[in-house]
């Protein structure tokens, strides 16, 4: 061989020295049975992680597990209730990374027409579910582990009828910064997606939804509306980036610029 290291051996050596790999790590994704959460679960599994998903819908969990590798696990957890979240983490051993993507369909309305109880309820899963999951999950995160939360571009660029959604998004980013200090050296970061094609828009009829996507794509600098797979890349990046904490990573196709 004359001292020349074959290319395949170089690649293997690089992989062996890649301390930021998530291969062999345990990744819990709350909200992992659909949309961005499921796309992130698939990508994490492709990178060799052991994936555990949870959501409130057992049928969706069963369907999601059919799309994930053998050994993946799924749990039905009511993410609006503290006792359900606490019970879930009691059954789970130590793990490496916690991702929170859970959320229900938002119905948008002008504030003068708002159903206040309904507006409050939007916080239950999206904000308080994440808050509670961290309370019970953080003590089980291994050294070098992290938490990645989910906000939204509405917290950066509000609009008519978006008051509740914008408030939730801004609250998540504030929580991220605070917990990055409180839970250190556990890293705490947040993904801030823009407009994404997910099941959260299923409350709209198909014609209205497709028109909305087309109008958004035309306005965005990137000229298309992201799918869940586009956003999933950002969650995996933050799991592997050891020098990022307290950050809210905007992935919006340029939405806040227009």
Domain ranges of the chain: 20-257
Q: What is the pLDDT of residue 12?
A: 43
Q: What is the mean pLDDT of residues 64-80?
A: 97
Mean pLDDT of 194-212: 87
- The answer to whether domain 20-257 has CATH 3.40.50.720 is yes
- Binning pLDDT at 50, 70 and 90, where does residue 75 land? very high
pLDDT band at residue 158 under the 50/70/90 scheme: confident
Model pLDDT, residue 95: 98
pLDDT score of 224 = 96
User: Mean pLDDT throughout 250-256?
Assistant: 95
Each residue of 160-170: pLDDT tens digit? Answer: 888 999 999 99
Res. 13 pLDDT band, cuts 50 70 90: very low
CA atoms within 13 Å, Cβ hemisphere of 80? 10
Per-residue pLDDT tens over the stretch 206-223: 899 899 999 999 999 999
Query: What pLDDT is stored for residue 10 in this prediction?
Result: 41
Q: What tens digit of pLDDT does each residue of 133-150 get? A: 999 999 999 999 999 999
pLDDT value for 11: 41
Partnered with residue 208 across adjacent β-strands are none
Tens-place pLDDT, residues 90-131: 999 999 999 999 987 767 889 999 999 988 988 999 999 999
Tens-digit pLDDT profile for residues 16-48: 345 689 999 999 999 999 999 999 999 999 999
Residue 53 phi, psi (nearest 5): -110, 155
User: Which residues, including other chains, have CB under 8 Å from residue 128's CB and lie 6 or more apart?
Assistant: 80
Q: What is the pLDDT of residue 108?
A: 80
> How is residue 208 written in tokens?
């209205």
Q: Please, what's the b/e burial string for 69-88 (b: 16 or more CB within 10 A of its CB; e: otherwise)? A: eeebebbbbbbbbbebbeeb
Confidence of residue 202 (pLDDT cuts 50, 70, 90): confident
* Residue whose tokens read 């050891």: 242
pLDDT higher at 157 or 252: 252
CA neighbor of 225 nearest in space, from 235, 210, 236, 237: 210
Average pLDDT, the chain: 91
- Interval 194-216 mean pLDDT: 88
Residue 17: per-residue pLDDT:
42
For position 19, what pLDDT does the model report?
A: 60
Distance (Å, whole) CA 131 – CA 222: 33
């Amino acid at each position: 061989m004359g001292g020349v290291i074959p290319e395949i051996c170089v690649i293997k050596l690089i992989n062996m020295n890649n301390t930021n790999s998530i291969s062999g790590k345990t990744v819990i994704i709350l909200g992992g049975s659909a949309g961005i959460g499921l796309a992130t679960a698939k990508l994490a599994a492709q990178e060799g992680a052991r994936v555990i998903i949870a959501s409130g819908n057992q049928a969706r969990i069963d369907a999601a597990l059919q799309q994930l590798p053998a050994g993946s696990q799924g749990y039905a957890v009511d993410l609006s209730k503290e006792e359900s979240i606490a019970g879930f983490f009691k059954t789970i051993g130590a793990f490496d990374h916690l991702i929170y993507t859970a959320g229900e369909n938002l119905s948008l309305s002008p504030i003068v027409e708002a159903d206040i109880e309904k507006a409050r309820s939007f916080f239950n899963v999206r904000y308080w579910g994440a808050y509670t999951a961290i309370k019970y999950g953080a003590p089980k995160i291994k050294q070098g582990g992290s938490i990645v939360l989910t906000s939204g571009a509405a917290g950066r660029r509000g609009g008519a009828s978006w008051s509740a959604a914008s408030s939730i998004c801004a609250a998540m980013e504030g929580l991220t910064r605070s917990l990055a200090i409180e839970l250190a050296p556990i890293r705490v970061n947040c993904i801030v997606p823009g407009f994404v094609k997910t099941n959260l828009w299923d409350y709209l009829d198909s014609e209205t939804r497709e028109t909305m996507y087309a109008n958004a794509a035309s306005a965005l600098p990137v000229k298309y509306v992201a799918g869940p797979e586009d956003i999933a890349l950002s969650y995996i990046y933050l799991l592997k980036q050891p020098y990022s904490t307290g950050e809210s990573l905007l992935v919006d196709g340029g939405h806040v610029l227009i």
